[in-house]
Structure 1
Amino acid sequence: MVKIDCLGDMCPVPVLRLKTVIDSLKNGEECMLVTDHSCTISNIEAFCKVHHLTYDTDEVMNGVWEITISANK
């Protein structure tokens, strides 16, 4: 699993970083994006819906989220 550390990054940086990783994933592979900005969650979820990607969001500690995205190519 590819991990994208976006701690401290504000939008649109996490979405752009996710886009470059998703393009290189094979069908069924996953990546995890870690963020500490709540606005990133809605932007990543919107990106995933547009690109027909599945995702799961988990707040692992107060103010830090892990978003696991699966490539469905």
Structure 2
Amino acid sequence: MKTIDCLGDMCPIPILKAQKALKLSPSGTTIKVVTDHSCTLESMLNHFKKYEITSTEVINGVWEIFITKS
């Protein structure tokens, strides 16, 4: 699993990083995006609708977003 550290990054930087990682990954791959901005979570959910996305708030204000490429 590839982890993308987006702590401190504002939108659209996390979206662009995730797009690049998904483009270079084969089907079935899951990438993990770590972010500290709630707007990034909402943007990911809206932008990557064709992928399976799960998320968890690991500590207050920090989320791990898992995107699986089908």
TM over 0.5: yes
SS in 2 for 1:23: helix
Alignment-derived partner of residue 7 in structure 1: 7
Name segments (4+ residues, structure 1) moved above 6 Å.
none
CA distance in structure 2 between the aligned counterparts of 1:14 and 1:48, rounded to whole angstroms: 12
- Structure 1 residue runs without a partner (length 5+): none
CA distance in structure 1 between the aligned counterparts of 2:3 and 2:47, rounded to whole angstroms: 17
Tell me the C-alpha RMSD between the 2 structures. Answer: 0.5
Alignment-derived partner of residue 17 in structure 1: 17
Normalization by structure 2: what TM-score? Answer: 0.97
Alignment-derived partner of residue 56 in structure 1: 54
CA distance in structure 2 between the aligned counterparts of 1:71 and 1:25, rounded to whole angstroms: 8
Normalization by structure 1: what TM-score? Answer: 0.93
